[in-house]
Amino acid sequence: FDELIELRKAKRQRKILQVQKAQSLDFTTIALQRSLGAFGWADGGREWNACPKPLQRLIEDYLSTSGGERETMSAEIGRSRDVRDWLAQQKRGIDPAPAPKRNHGPRLG
């Protein structure tokens, strides 16, 4: 039983690390696109405007730091729940999900 508990803990920890790495990668991808001026990421671009203001400030701070500081900042970003929410808002702002169709039951008559 104890081995099973340890295996579950290890699996949960691996999953958490995967999520953190993916979040950090999403953020650094956006920052790189911003720094290169990729389509939509310049001032006034659709993707940039879809970013929440706190995420925009964080991206600008990230781009203004040097290599060693970026590594540290990237690790912190991977663990941040706020950044996770901001990234989700940014994605919804670009491609909002359509409203689900409602089932009003059978048509009578």
Q: Which residues, at least 6 apart from 28, have a Cβ–Cβ distance to it below 8 Å?
A: 62, 74
Q: Residue 80 burial by CB count (10 A; 0-12/13-18/19+): exposed, middle or buried?
A: middle
Q: How confident is the model at residue 99 (pLDDT cuts 50, 70, 90)?
A: low
pLDDT greater than 70 at residue 109: no
Q: What is the pLDDT of residue 63?
A: 92
Q: How confident is the model at residue 88 (pLDDT cuts 50, 70, 90)?
A: confident
